[in-house]
Every structure is written in C-alpha cells, then in structure tokens.
Structure 1
Amino acid sequence: MDIEAAGGVVTGGLIAGAIEKPTGKAGEDHTGICADCGAETSGNFCSNCGQPTHVHRTLLHLFEEVLHGVMHFDARIWRTLPLLWLNPGRLTREWVQGRRARYVSPLAMFLFTMFVMFFALSFMPSHPAEAPGPERIASQRQDLVEAEQALAEVKAGFADQTSPVAVAAIGAADETVRRERTRLTEVEREVREGRPDGLVPGSWQANLKDAAESGKKNAGSGHGFAATLLKKLQNPDLALYKLQQTIYKFAFLLVPLSIPFVALLFLWKRGFTLYDHGVFVLYSLTFMAMLLMLMVVAASLNSVLGGLVITLGILGIPVHMFAQLKSAYGLSVFSALWRTVFLVTFCNVVVGLFLTAIVYLGLGH
C-alpha cells in the first residue's frame, strides 16, 4: 500500500470537505444560545456566526466527521454523480445559475476525485514487459544483418572512390555495423547471465536506461535540461516515482491551463465569464479522471474487458464534451459540434503542456 497516496486521499478529502458549505438536516430544530458567540439561535446554525447549534462531544462523532470529510458521501453526491455522467450540461448550468445546495461543488468534486484516482492507481499491479530471450537475440541479429547489408550497398555505391564523402559514408556504415555487433554480444550475455544493474532484460526499465545512456554518450558532457533529464532517466524506477508524485501534486495545473482554451470558444459571445468556464472545466476533468480509473481497473481485471472499456471510453469522451457544451451553454447542435472538435484538439494541447511542465518539474532540476 502506498502510504503517501493514502495520506493524500485523506488530505484531499478533508480539503474538499472544508470548502463545502455545511448543510443542515431536515427535522432538526435546535433552539437556545450559541456556544460560540452567545447569540440566540432558532435553527440548525447560528445566524450570527454560522456555527452549528448542536455541538457533539463524543468520540463517535469525531470519527464521523473524519469519514464525512474524507468520503463526503452525503445525499448531494448521489444527485451529482448521475448528472455528471449522464447530463453534465445540466449540472454545469444549474451550478452556474446558483442552484448549488443540492450538488457537490465542482472544486470539491475535482479535488477529491484526483486524490482518489492516484490512490487507486497506486494499487494497480505492475507487469514489466520482458521480451523472451530467443526473440531478443533474433531481433538484434536481424538489425545486424540489415546494417551489414547497408554497409555492402554503400561500398558498392562508392566503389573505387576515395573522395571525403565516400570515406565518410563508408566509415559511418561501418560504425553502425560495429555498434550492432557489440549490441548483439551484450544481448546474448544479458539473456545468458542477466544484466549487471539487476534490471530485467527487455523490460521498459532496461530499454529506457539503455536509451538514456546512449543519448548521454551522443550528447557528451553537456549541461541544461536535456542533460539533467538523461541523467535521471538512467534510474527508470526513481524517475517514474518522481513523475508520479509530481503529477499527483500538480494535477490542479490542468484547470488554469484549460480555462483559457474554453474561453476562446466563446470569445465573441456575451454572458459567459471565466467562472462559468472554470465550472465547466472542473466538472469535465472530474469525469475524465473517473473514466480513467474505470479504464485502468477494467484493464487490470481482464485484457478483453479492458480493451472494450478503453475503446468505449475514448469514443465517449467527445460525446460527453458535446453534451456538456450543448446543455451548459444553450448551444445549437451545430455550434456545440464544431466547438467539440476544437475542444478535443485543445485537450491534446493542454495535455502536451501539462506533461511538459510535469517532466520539467519532476526531472528537469
């Protein structure tokens, strides 16, 4: 179990619960004096300072408050979730128009969902991809054969020529053959004896480390972002851990990165503010996070089921965007359709910007 992820879930739940306004329970009627400010009260909350009039002093209630802050599963969640999945435009529109008491706020929903997502993903099993030894050797031998054929073609093309171009071309092809032959020797030794660094031959960790070492050799003793990145990629597991932690800590960057692109779609339409776009983005990102969790869980349970869920999920993303745009902003079918096309494109741009920021923040210094 990832203790940091579990702590993050608790923290995220408490944050989400803290920013939610308290709601009273029907049927309660507490009258008397407020324990905090001394004002007379006649309801669930003090009209002067806002404190609940019924003050619990039991250990059981303390436990209840923690669970409520973490899970936040009161009646509003069951009204919010179905709309988020089936009618996101109505949910967005009603929140923007002020009908908020019945729903979980978009920020609270987003924060808690992101924390739960990373908590759930931390339990997913990891299956290192290992190519069978004979297949790796056969593949490397094929690369060597192709390199030798290329060398023979270069020599035939520059037969009886001693020009600098001919010498350089033959030398480059010969160097490629030498490199592939050395690599074949290394692969055969790895399959027979294992890697000196303990990584599984053919796994993504081993391939990434080899690529990083090769890139570092080609780049020389340079400095800057590229050199730092190549150096850290030589420890793939640590690099992956840092990236996961960075994504976990800076997932909120998706919101400010997305809002300007949504605003561009309505630049010439009056009546919509950045707040409206922010609510749209928060609910949309919450849906995407839930969908990602569903895809990962399905893929972990069964490959066929995972493939089906992933396919349907990818197809469902633009459908969800279209439905949310059309209903939330009161658009026609055509207006919502072309905005959906642009929004999908903008999502790719936002993801690219986000991943670039994550790589820089996690591995670039």
Structure 2
Amino acid sequence: MAMLSRNGRAGAIKMRSPRTKEGGNIRNMCGEIEAIGDLATGGLMARAVEPHAGKAQAGGHHGSCLNCGTTLIGEHCHQCGQAAHVHRSIGAIWHDLLHGVLHLEGKLWGTLPLLITRPGELTRRYIDGQRARFVSPMAMFLFSVFTLFAVLSILGIAPPADVTNPTAQVASGLEEAKKQLVATRASQAARLTDPEASADRKARARERIAEIDAELQVIRDAQPTFRPERAEISGFKTGWKRLDYGIEKASKNPGLALYKLQANSYKFSWLLIPLSLPFVWVMFAWRREFHAYDHAVFVTYSIAFMSLLFIVLTILGAMGVSLTILTVLGAVIPPFHIYRQLRGGYRLRRGSALFRTALLLVFIQVIATLFLMLVLGLGLIG
C-alpha cells in the first residue's frame, strides 16, 4: 500500500512479514521492532495527509524556491508549498521522525482532549471549518489504528500459530506410527532369514512380528475414521475455484488463516469508514442540513476514539486490571461517547440522541459482521 504525497513528499508503508519460530527471544525482539515501526509509520502517515494544513506562516525569506524556482515571499513557497529553508543533516531526519510521530504539528494535544471529553464539539467545530487547530479525522484515524497494532505487537497479542485440526492431527499421528511399525517389522523379518541368528532369537522375532501385525491391523481399522479429508471442510464448495482453494488451505492450516485475518484487519481497517457511512446517513436521511462529509467526519473520529479506547483497555489488562472492570469500561464508555458525539456533532435533543445511539449500536453489529466477512473473504482469495 502506498501513501500519496503532498507538496512533493511521499512515504511508504512497510508491510510486516509473518513471524517465524526460530526462537522465542528473537521473535519477541522482532515483534517489538515491528511494533515501533508501525507506530512510526502511523505517525508519519498521519503527518503526510495533513502537513501544515490551515496554518498561517510568519516571517519572510528572500531568493527562489529550491524546488520550482518561484520567488519566495514567506517561509514556504506559495507555488508548490516547499519550505524555504531545507535541512541537510542527520539530526533533521530524527527531528522529522519524532515530530511526525509525537507532535503532529502540535495539534494532537489540542485534539485528543476534545475527542475524549467533548467529541460532539470537536466534530461540529471541524465540520464548521476550524481545521488549523485540530488533527483531521483521517490523520487521527491512521495514527490510532497504527498505534493499536503497535501496542498489540509489543504486548505479544497475536493469534496462535500452532492451531491444528484435532482430527487431522490424529490422522497424521496414526500414519507416522504405521511407518515406524512397518520399519520395525522389516528389521524383525530380517532376523528370521539371518543364518547366524539363534533359534531363541528367531522365536522372539516371530512373536514381535505377530504383535506388530496386530497393531498394524488396529491402525488400518482406525484410519478410515480419521481421514484427513474428513478433518477439512473441503466438502463445502462455492463454485468459485479461487475461494474454494482458499477454504481448503484454511482448513489445512488454521494458524496461517488466523494470521492472515489479523493482517487483513490491520491493512483494511479503513473499510470500516465506507461501511459505516450508509448506516449513519439513514439516521439523518430527512435532515437536509447534514451532508455525507458531516457523516464521514463523525464516523472517522468515532472509530479513532474506539481504537484509542481499545489501546487503553489492552494496556490496563496487561497491567493486571481485572477482566470485570475492563468489561464494564468496554460496555459503558462506547455508547456514552457515541451519545455525546451524536448530540454535540448534530445538535440533537437528548431524546433524539438517545434514540439514534441505540439504533447505531444495532448498526454497529451489522457493520462489524460485514467487515469480518470482507476481511475473511479477502484472506481466503488472497
């Protein structure tokens, strides 16, 4: 996935590769490095979609723009937007990295308090045109989503890689036992034809062969019950060869399927925005003063907050906070936040905001199901 540039700047998202099993310490270290990379990428990506947006520039510079040659009249070229003063030092690289991740032009610290305590006011003020002082909804969304997956990586929260189908595992064990018994029987049979073997040794070999034959018969009788194809869901066919092949692969390697599901949730989290817009529009279809842009701002800020909330709950869980407390917080805070954002962002009365909150909570279940189906489908056909 590439990130579009603005004012001549561009960046790219580095995709994470699957973890290996070559060592617990190495894997943990790699996970932490990937997490830091995700966090940095999220900050830089958010910075890139909103570089100096809406900010007035002070001071003046003389000469020509080093990018397009236009005569300078300020700190930035009014033609292409490049800064008049460009840095050429390693320190400037680290400054840009830390500034992009932690500062976001200073607007992050002015946006977060409102997003948490007064989300409706933030939504309405941004829609009404107050853009310079706040982080844009998309930049906040990118930062929160990348930070979420960085935290999950740091804490080692990931789907198990060793998920196997129990029936297939038994079938594999039976086949391996059969191979070992056949090899043992061959060695015992060789003793019977050995001219140097004593009569007593040949007698013991015959007894052992008889035992092995009995064990092999038990395995042969059991194998039809534990056929590998019965452990799979390959009997289910959709008629689409690519999807059927993906279903077959997922049944053979559930651990890989879970990993792909997590990775796709990470890559395609932005799909939550277009999936949510029609449902929010339905709630205000007869209110002509509200437009699709208003709904997009509401949805994007809301998803960003939910991602940040999940980060906090995850960290609290890692610190030992009881599951009961986390469950209560996770059940109470989202509806309350949605209510506050709806009421302030759309200037609704209390009853109208409560009704729409309840309706949106139902819609969220549908949206989550659609998103899961899309992500799962993309993983199967990918």
TM-score (norm 2): 0.67
Match 1:314 to one of 327, 331, 339: 331
- Assess if the C-alpha contact under 8 Å between 1:216 and 1:227 holds in 2: no
Is the counterpart of residue 288 in structure 1 residue 306 in structure 2?
yes
* Paired letter, 2:61: T
Q: By how many angstroms is 1:65 displaced?
A: 1.3
1:267 is paired with a residue whose SS is coil
Unpaired runs of 5+ in structure 2? Answer: 1-29, 161-166, 174-225
* Aligned with 1:15 (options 42, 45, 60): 45
Structure 2 match to 1:46: 77
Matched, 1:92 2:92: no
2:232 maps to which of 200, 210, 216 = 216
Quickly say closer, same or farther: Cα 1:55–1:259, change in 2 above 3 A.
same
Shift of 1:26: 8.9
1:50 partner letter: G
Identify the residue that residue 160 of structure 1 maps to in structure 2: none
Letter in 2 for 1:288: M
Q: Deviation per CA, 1:27-47: give whole Å up to 9, x if none.
A: 962321233344443432223
Q: Is 2:278 the partner of 1:278?
A: no
In the other structure, the counterpart of 1:263 is: 281
Preserved contact between residue 213 and residue 234 of structure 1 (Cα < 8 Å)? no
The equivalences for 1:1-365 within 5 A come to 1-2=30-31, 4-22=34-52, 29-36=59-66, 37-125=68-156, 216=232, 219=235, 225=243, 228-229=246-247, 231-304=249-322, 306-364=323-381
Secondary structure at 1:71's aligned position in 2? Answer: helix
Could you tell me how far apart the structure 2 residues matched to 1:270 and 1:222 are?
A: 43
Identity over aligned pairs, percent: 41
| Rounded Cα–Cα distance in structure 1 between residues aligned with 2:252 and 2:110 | 48
CA offsets 1:158-185 (integer angstroms, 9 cap, x no match) = xxxxxxxxxxxxxxxxxxxxxxxxx9xx
Q: Is the 8 A contact 1:17 1:72 kept in 2?
A: no
Distance across 2 between alignment mates of 1:278 and 1:90: 15
Number of matched pairs: 289
Q: Is the 8 A contact 1:318 1:340 kept in 2?
A: yes
TM-aligned CA distance change 1:35 to 1:226, over 3 Å: closer
Q: Contact 2:234–2:244 (CA<8 Å) still a contact in 1?
A: no
User: Quick one: distance in 2 between partners of 1:59 and 1:260?
Assistant: 47
TM-score (norm 1): 0.70
- Counterparts of 2:339 and 2:54 in 1: how far apart (Å)? 36
Cα distance in structure 2, aligned partners of 1:92 and 1:4: 33
Separation in structure 2 between the aligned mates of residue 221 and residue 255 of structure 1, nearest angstrom: 32
8 Å contact kept, 1:89–1:326? yes
- In the alignment, the residues of structure 1 paired with residue 335 and residue 349 of structure 2 have an alpha-carbon distance, to the nearest angstrom, of 16
RMSD: 3.3
* CA distance in 1: counterparts of 2:341 and 2:49, whole angstroms: 24
Higher mean C-alpha deviation, range 269-278 or range 20-29: 20-29
